[in-house]
Structure 1
Amino acid sequence: MAKEHLLERADTPDEKARVEKYVTVHGQELSPTNYAVCQADLLIKNDRQATVYLGNSLIPHEPYSRESGDQWPETKWRFHRMLSNPPFGVTWGGKDGYEKEARKLAKTRYQAGMPRVNDGALLFLQTMLAKMAPPETGGSRIAVIFNGSPLSNGDCGSGESEIRRWILENDWLDAIVMLPDQLFYNTGIFTYVWLLRNDKPASHYGRVMLIDARQQFEKEPKSFGNKRHRITDAHRAWIEERYRDGWAKGYADEQVKVFPREDFAYHKVSVVFWQTDEHDQPAIVTEPYEKAFTAANVKKEQDFHESDLSFRVRVKTDGQEKTVGFTVKSEDNAARKFKEAMSGADETLAVEWTHRRYVQDDEYIPHGEDIAAFLKREIAKPIIRWEETKKDGKTVLGYEILPNKYFYRYQPPTPAKDLLAEFWRLEKEAEKMLEGLAK
């Protein structure tokens, strides 16, 4: 289709001849049925330069393996333009997957990270990025269509976040186009086109464009499964115009926004703060101890609170109940205190403890914010300690892209009187339907 598009745009026989001579298409398909349809189509078009292989492009090709792998390896092949519409939510791990084979590329093609085993979308993207032609030989541009999961799935330091970090820090992501829902036969979800390139002009450096094209559609005359919307040439022209003018004129409006790539980064901070009571004073609470009362658990509480902990333990010894109290200080040996308190006891009946009401929570802080100032402002409680997410001993940033947040437009709720009027209208409609059934 892409080559046909170029041939249609060629104005002269000489231009058409150059397209035929210099534009070669290559592909790979996992489904035998789709592969056969593709080969038949190429035979009909008589495109003798096109080469398509049957096999799994996410795993290495080993000639004697029962399953064919990637027959366009980046060690031999590079491409200037790449298009892909990979399956959404493809499972690549587990008993039905090919995790063992894919992980053979963990230190090369997938060195940025491996996504969760039930969603291989970012494996497809890394496969294409690995095959980019160097900028000095023309560079590469990629267009791939995804569902929403590659935008934000995975926490800071996870495989998905690390892959997004790798892409953004290398400045390959150029734009994301938000498409309407109900464009596909087997799903009604919203989808997104990612545009990537390694030959960005200076005006694109360090920036990413988001285009909201969710309203660029018309209704299908007749539904085809979940496909109820379609994009026409006019809608495609609208998207192209917003992309070109957005970069050329540097404007932003309700449908086009340009962000520095750092805007998609965040710090994930684990923070412990001292909850306050009804008088807004640091709270001290006495409550049942609901964990197993063991020396190891007492030591964990001691390490977490870093302050005195008072325990009252009701035990049974020789058929008699008694209450034993002890305090664990920050410098105490918790295991020794525990053994002393439980010495001679036959059974533990109940445990109560008194402690500072420390709360641990994770805060997601935009990159560039002063972390200490943010925590003080947003939590407004005594901060005990905080720590950023680390990987291999180094602090890492998380990355996520949330287009819906950037294009959110507040819509006031329907007034209560209008809702009530609609309710009574439906009530009367239901009564008439029931009367009809009675007859």
Structure 2
Amino acid sequence: MNILQYESKIWATADLLRGSGIKESEWPSYMMPFFALVMIESRLVRMFDDLKAEIGKEAFANIEKDDLYNMIKDQGQGYNIYIFEHDKILTDICKNDKSFDIDFDAYLNGFDGETKDLLGVDVTEGEKFLDIKGVVTKLKAKKVLFSYTKLWAEINLKPFNNSEITTLEEHIKRKWADISAETAGEQYTPDDVIALIAEIISSKIEESDKLLKIYDCTCGGGNMLFGVEDRINDKFKRLTQTYGQDWNDPLYALAKIESRFRPDSKIEHGNTLVEDKFYNEEFDVVVANPPYGVSWKGYQKDIENDKTGRFHFLPSVSDGQLLFMQHLISKLDSIGMGVVVHNGSSLFSGDAGSAESNIRKWMLDSDIVEAVIQLPTDEFFNTDIYTYLWVLNKNKQSQHKDKVMLIDASEKFKPLKKNKGSKRKEVDEVSRLEIVETLTKYLDSDYARVFDKEFFYFNKQAIMLTNVDEYGNSFESKLKKGKKSEKLTPTKLTNGEREMSEFVITSFDTTQYDSLDDVFAQDIKPFIASLNYKEQPLVITTATAQYWFDAEQESLIKETNGKKECLGCGKIVVKSAYKKANKKNPDRIEITVELTPDYQKDYELIPYHKDGAANQAEIADFMAKYITKPFAYLDNLVGVELNFNKIFYKPEKLDRVIDILEEIDALEMKLKELETGLSL
């Protein structure tokens, strides 16, 4: 039997929801608890049958009730009175519609305490997890509870093992994600990407007596975590143990339920970034597909006050992806590795000196990034963007140390015969094996490149330029030593539209303004702010000279008794301030004018060298070649970004001019033929 036969049957239950007027976006919240219910029942029935077979028919018949309870409890998979004490399951309850409501309520309350909590059987407030109580209440109100439950009871998962049930669960969750991905950045990981991640991990591990501990800090319903574990178990005899944590109530509940049917799997509920439930654990393998572009403002103070030391830098509050990345790295043991799914922003968001760039630099400085793999677009179910696999490895081979491989696998896919929402492509098995082989060989190819990690570093050199006039002069040369400006004592200011001759204003027109403060706010301040000595005539008159800026010469001009002098490139700075009265002066508006050199802060992006002396020489050579104005060095920041477009850019092939002209001629001929036909 193929378990996927039940996929269409499960989704047929949605027809009943549609007929009851329930919106499509709400279907998952109705379907999740019932899927969990039939999953739990199938596992418990199978476990019960295995137990009976192990004990033997005659011996089982003589077991005391308390002994049976303890034997089942020791399995750690849950308990249900109806199944274990009355030998009845959901299909039996659905045989009698008259007693169904009472029997179904007793059936739900017959589960052990933890299962009832996860299903949300009798919770009244607080965490509801799968909230089956709320769903049952709504279905009763619609008068379809019996019909809906009966449809689910027909789904018999008992013949299938953990891996098979997980496969069905992945398909169902995929559709849930497709129709109800209401939270930005929460991307369900498709099965083919999980298979690729598992192949990458499998290529890095070996058979061993040591337990392989696998961790997912944003495990959702567990599809990636358990999917990776199952595929590793298919390839290796090595024992595995899974650990996961998630904040989403219903998805956590699904993962927790699934974990109880796996050997010693541990799933915890809560916000990983605020409360790490595995704070004292380290792991051999980490996997995750953390949310993209999701704000962490709601718990910003907790992150800022975190005492664990896992967050080296705090990225923009609007996107917590790189917080999860830092957390995952902190959870790796001394030779651990991992694969993390991100969107493109984690590669290049943030300028040099930003937290995002510093996080990337810290990761490369630590030599933990072995490769980054670009996946095809249209690969995920509810987004068409490029996604990337970061391959982390604290146990690189010697020839991989201090290097990073970029693999452009954007063309390594097979088109789906039938689209699944936004998903139109899949990384098929042939492509997966080719990608893993490329990673293993760690050599350049037409779609992969290996770089020294410093290739991704760059200098952002800040400089202060001194602008000069057409003769190469700056007003700086006219200043006395130690002075940064020359203050003028103006008698008149003219800008072509208005002339001002009062520079300390203490009185005002009371018919127009209520106070001197109003004069400042409504007239003087806006006027001074509008002055632009480069865009419009601005003449400053003092007792001995006139000053203005000559745009053609790019120089300040001083005219004394008809004689003009070029002072060099500079600025005319006019400021206004409202000052309250003191012992010497009343309330007043003061207007000041000064001449300053024209300085301009600028940044230059310059290739980086890991050798300090060589790096400084590179910066100096760049400045000598490209900067012609006088300048002074300011701070130098080293940034890091990984730009796939720059490395794998393929220019679009343009048609030859002769071919374009021939095509135009053909179109013109066709138009003439049409015109001739119309005129007949």
Q: Is the aligned partner of 1:374 residue 2:615?
A: no
1:263 alignment partner, one of 431, 442, 455: 455
- Corresponding letter in the other structure for 2:644: P
Query: 1:299-314, aligned counterparts within 5 Å?
Result: 306=484, 314=493
Cα deviations across residues 368-409 of structure 1 (Å, max 9, x unaligned)?
Answer: 242122122123x123212124xxxxxx52222212211122
* Partners of 2:576 and 2:589 within 8 A in 1: no
2:329 alignment partner, one of 100, 117, 129: 129
Query: 1:96-175, aligned counterparts within 5 Å?
Result: 97-105=298-306, 108-110=309-311, 112-134=312-334, 139-175=335-371
Cα deviations across residues 189-228 of structure 1 (Å, max 9, x unaligned)?
Answer: 1011001111122111111111111111122222222212
Query: 1:277-316, aligned counterparts within 5 Å?
Result: 281-282=471-472, 306=484, 314=493, 315-316=500-501
Q: 1:39 deviation in Å?
A: 3.0
1:82 alignment partner, one of 283, 286, 302: 286
Q: Is the aligned partner of 1:57 residue 2:272?
A: yes
Query: 1:13-28, aligned counterparts within 5 Å?
Result: 15=237, 19=238, 22-28=239-245
Q: Which has the larger radius of gyration?
A: 2
* 1:293 alignment partner in structure 2: none
1:409 alignment partner, one of 650, 653, 677: 650
Q: What is the TM-score when the length of structure 2 is the normalising length? A: 0.47
1:217 alignment partner, one of 392, 410, 413: 413
Structure 1 spans left out of the alignment, 5+ residues: 61-69, 286-300, 390-395, 433-439
Q: Is the aligned partner of 1:228 residue 2:476?
A: no
SS at match of 1:359: strand
* 1:253 alignment partner in structure 2: 445
Matches of 2:422 and 2:353, distance apart in 1: 36
SS at match of 1:220: strand
* 2:249 alignment partner in structure 1: 32
Matches of 1:402 and 1:98, distance apart in 2: 31
Q: 1:260 deviation in Å?
A: 1.0
* Partners of 1:271 and 1:383 within 8 A in 2: no
* Partners of 2:463 and 2:603 within 8 A in 1: yes
Q: 1:41 deviation in Å?
A: 3.5
Q: 1:38 deviation in Å?
A: 2.0
Q: 1:24 deviation in Å?
A: 0.6
Q: Is the aligned partner of 1:183 residue 2:400?
A: no
- Corresponding letter in the other structure for 2:231: H
SS at match of 1:266: strand
- Corresponding letter in the other structure for 2:228: A
Matches of 2:423 and 2:621, distance apart in 1: 49
* 2:109 alignment partner in structure 1: none
- Corresponding letter in the other structure for 2:501: K
* Cα RMSD (Å): 4.1
The structure-2 alpha-carbon separation of the partners of 1:409 and 1:40, relative to structure 1 and needing over 3 Å to count, comes to: same
Q: 1:350 deviation in Å?
A: 11
* 1:71 alignment partner in structure 2: 277
Matches of 1:100 and 1:72, distance apart in 2: 21
Q: 1:146 deviation in Å?
A: 0.4
Q: 1:348 deviation in Å?
A: 8.4
- Corresponding letter in the other structure for 2:299: Y
Q: 1:418 deviation in Å?
A: 6.7
Structure 2 spans left out of the alignment, 5+ residues: 1-226, 494-499, 508-538, 548-555, 557-566, 578-584, 610-614, 675-680
Identity over aligned pairs, percent: 28
* 2:581 alignment partner in structure 1: none
Q: 1:151 deviation in Å?
A: 1.0
The structure-2 alpha-carbon separation of the partners of 1:310 and 1:272, relative to structure 1 and needing over 3 Å to count, comes to: farther
- Corresponding letter in the other structure for 2:635: E
SS at match of 1:267: strand
Greater Cα shift, 152-161 or 31-40: 31-40
* 1:66 alignment partner in structure 2: none
Cα deviations across residues 146-204 of structure 1 (Å, max 9, x unaligned)?
Answer: 00111111122221122112111111111101111111111111011001111122111
Q: 1:37 deviation in Å?
A: 2.5
Q: What is the TM-score when the length of structure 1 is the normalising length? A: 0.71
* Partners of 2:466 and 2:474 within 8 A in 1: no
The structure-2 alpha-carbon separation of the partners of 1:302 and 1:231, relative to structure 1 and needing over 3 Å to count, comes to: farther
More helix by share: 2
Matches of 1:113 and 1:306, distance apart in 2: 38
- Corresponding letter in the other structure for 1:98: Y
The structure-2 alpha-carbon separation of the partners of 1:338 and 1:235, relative to structure 1 and needing over 3 Å to count, comes to: closer
Matches of 2:394 and 2:228, distance apart in 1: 20
Matches of 1:322 and 1:113, distance apart in 2: 50
More strand by share: 1
Q: Is the aligned partner of 1:384 residue 2:601?
A: no
Greater Cα shift, 409-418 or 216-225: 409-418
* Partners of 1:30 and 1:56 within 8 A in 2: yes
* 1:237 alignment partner in structure 2: 433
* Partners of 1:265 and 1:366 within 8 A in 2: yes
Q: 1:81 deviation in Å?
A: 0.4
